Amino acid sequence: MIAIAYGWPDVLVFATAALLIVVGALGVIATRHPVHAALSLIMTLFGVAVAFVAQSADFLAAVEIIVYAGAIVVLFLFVIMFLGVDRDEGTRIEPLVGQRTLAALGAVITVAGLITLMARSHWVTGATSVSTAGVPLAHGSGNVRQLGTAVFTTYLFAFEATAALLIIAVVGAVVLARREQRRDAEDEATSSPSDAPTDLEGSER
Amino acid sequence: MNSLLATVDPLYNHGVTWAVVLIVVIRVVAAFAVLMGSVIIMIWFERKAISDMQSRIGPQRWGPFGLLQTLADGAKLFFKEDLIPAGANRLVFKLAPYLVLIPALITFAIVPVGGTLHIAGHPVLLQVANPPVGILLMLAMSGISVYGVMLAGWASGSKYPLMSSVRASAQMISYEAALGMTIVTIILVTGSLSTHDIVISQGQGIWHWNLIRLGIVPFVVFIIAITAELNRPPFDVVEADSELVGGFHTEYSSLRFALFYLAEFMNTITMSAMMVTLFLGGPAGWVPNVAHLRWLFPIAWFVVKTVGFAFAYVWFRAALPRFRYDQVMDLGWKRLIPLSLGWMIVVAGFLVAPAWGFAMAAVVLVAWILLTRAFELGYTRERGVDSPLPVVGERPLPGEVLRAITDREAQ
């Protein structure tokens, strides 16, 4: 029935993308090894990119690979390797008490919200109807123009707010990192290292 | 602009016929064969040119002028024992060479080698694919090849490869930003992402080449950033043999090592071709009016330009000493990224109106002065005004300062 509505090639592409996404996502939470989990995440991102291409959103697909697979997960791996946490982790101990209960609660709320959205409106965007105000959806290179126009006119405030947020996050991270260093230097100078507060500092980060 | 967009890849038009599929298959096979053949020649060329510059003879035993040396090396690598270290992560260790090789192969697919041919009524672009995302595919693939290098070093379960992979990830991410911003200036001028359109828009003569049209700066930034992305000398801190044994592929042997070697040279050729495409008009050049052979000249121009850049890479390797790791980071973050960002803003301004262009140039100038002052303040704050250690990279070097102090104490 699905094949009648969309044609076999589309269904095949969707099935491949969905398989990549779901298997990758399960791999992220099921593998015990942090590096393998990161690799599964890359697989999910590739699946999402394939799904974007199938929807004629070529530009988004490229950006997905460049930004998420090409930069963000590389940074994850960088941190994993640099901090030397690249070994199997025991999942029996719960480091933050109550974390799992809260996570389960959050998952239930999210799924309930999604189901409500699907039942009441368009299930991806939450909009009750989709209209492009008479403009046909762009294919290929038109993607960039359409996205650019939307981001720099209709959604300019959200765009600029995101930019400001990212800058604040970067500056905050730099300030925190440098403060730590200075305190270390002072500790060395007075040569009275105390083990108790280091634990707290670690969790703050 | 519409005429440009009309020549989209036939794969993206709906209604694919067997003829189209056949043409695509032929293009893929041809591109693969050309790339493999040029890798063999490139390896020979690099060894021969380097030996000339170092007053050696270089390969000479196999074939005329040692041309078959690469094949002999390949056969040797093929029959060597394939080792996996005991501490290695086996799955990732086996996966990593392919993560380097496959992006190297895919990137070549978007390089326009010549003009448009007409075979049996089908317009055939002389490039494997002309996807709408075009040049972004190159950025995506260079993003993926980072994983190959990184995971190879990590999965070896050995110290030096791990250091190399940490260096590789930091270096390639840093230079990707500068690379991306120079590509944005090209996209701004072209108005399209597709490599085919980029080449066509430079086709009206040498003054329309992006090299001159954008000012020389983006080209210089691009060639530096792409050399760093390739991990070629002088940016080969990743496989610095004097510090890290062999870098990320220290523990690799036999065919897996051959794959890394292959990918490295493939990338060198592809990036030379990419520079020709982006800045030198690709296959653009003088075409004499010869019947039935007009299509051959663009390809010849393309090959000549690409060989020029391939030689430049060999020359870099012979002439320039390797950067220190902190110098690599310094050049990437503090010089190339601000420079390419500023230049992009100025180019965007001039595209709107000359007045805007000059206004943007003034803004960039003010920003540049502020940034220089900020770097200066940062250095003095970090090191103290009367620190005996000078700013990184300036003479006297830290070693020389220490030497002077010990000499003074010895007297």
pLDDT tens for residues A1-43?
Answer: 444 556 677 788 888 899 999 999 999 888 878 888 888 999 9
ipTM over 0.95: no
- The span from the CA of B72 to the CA of B67, in Å, is 10
Residue with tokens 């600029």: A160
Q: Would the CB atoms of A39 and B92 count as touching at under 8 Å?
A: yes
A46 touches chain B (CB under 8 A): no
CA distances for A77 relative to A95, B165, B169, B228, angstroms: 22, 10, 9, 20
Could you tell me which residues are beta bridge partners of residue B119?
B122
The whole-number pLDDT of residue B11 equals 53
Per-residue pLDDT of A165-198, as tens digits, reads 999 999 998 888 877 555 555 555 555 444 444 4
Is residue B136 within 8 Å of B303, Cβ to Cβ? no
Strand B122-125 to B116-119 pairing: antiparallel
Q: Is the pLDDT of residue A200 over 70?
A: no
Is residue B106 within 8 Å of B142, Cβ to Cβ? no
Q: B182: closest CA among B322, B337, B398, B359?
A: B337
- The span from the CA of B203 to the CA of B197, in Å, is 10
A23 touches chain B (CB under 8 A): no
The whole-number pLDDT of residue A163 equals 92
Q: Would the CB atoms of B132 and A42 count as touching at under 8 Å?
A: no
Per-residue pLDDT of B243-283, as tens digits, reads 777 778 888 888 888 888 888 899 999 999 999 988 888 78
The whole-number pLDDT of residue A4 equals 52
Per-residue pLDDT of B58-84, as tens digits, reads 888 887 888 888 888 888 888 888 888
| Weakest-pLDDT range from A78-82, A122-126, A146-150, B92-96 | A122-126
- The span from the CA of A173 to the CA of B38, in Å, is 47
* Chain B residues touching A39 at Cβ < 8 A: 92, 151
- The span from the CA of B198 to the CA of B4, in Å, is 10
| Weakest-pLDDT range from A101-110, A117-126, B101-110, B280-289 | A117-126
Min distance A41 CA to chain B CA atoms (Å): 13
Element (H, E) at B125: strand B122-125
Q: Would the CB atoms of B143 and A35 count as touching at under 8 Å?
A: no
**Which residue from A minimizes the CA distance to B131?**
A140
Min distance B168 CA to chain A CA atoms (Å): 10
What rounded mean pLDDT belongs to chain B? 82
Question: What is the share, in percent, of chain B residues with pLDDT greater than 70?
Answer: 90
Q: Average pLDDT of A82-101? A: 70
- The span from the CA of B135 to the CA of B104, in Å, is 14
User: In the CATH hierarchy, which fold is given to the domain comprising A1-89?
Assistant: Four Helix Bundle (Hemerythrin (Met), subunit A) (1.20.120)
Is residue B137 within 8 Å of B106, Cβ to Cβ? yes
Interacting residues of B339 by C-beta distance below 8 A, sequence separation 6+: B178, B217, B221
The ranges assigned to domains in chain A are 1-89, 155-205
Q: pLDDT band at residue A86, thresholds of 50, 70 and 90? A: low
Nearest CB neighbour to A70, from listed B91, B144, B192: B144
Q: pLDDT band at residue A161, thresholds of 50, 70 and 90? A: very high
Q: Is the pLDDT of residue B3 over 50?
A: no
**Which residue from A minimizes the CA distance to B154?**
A81
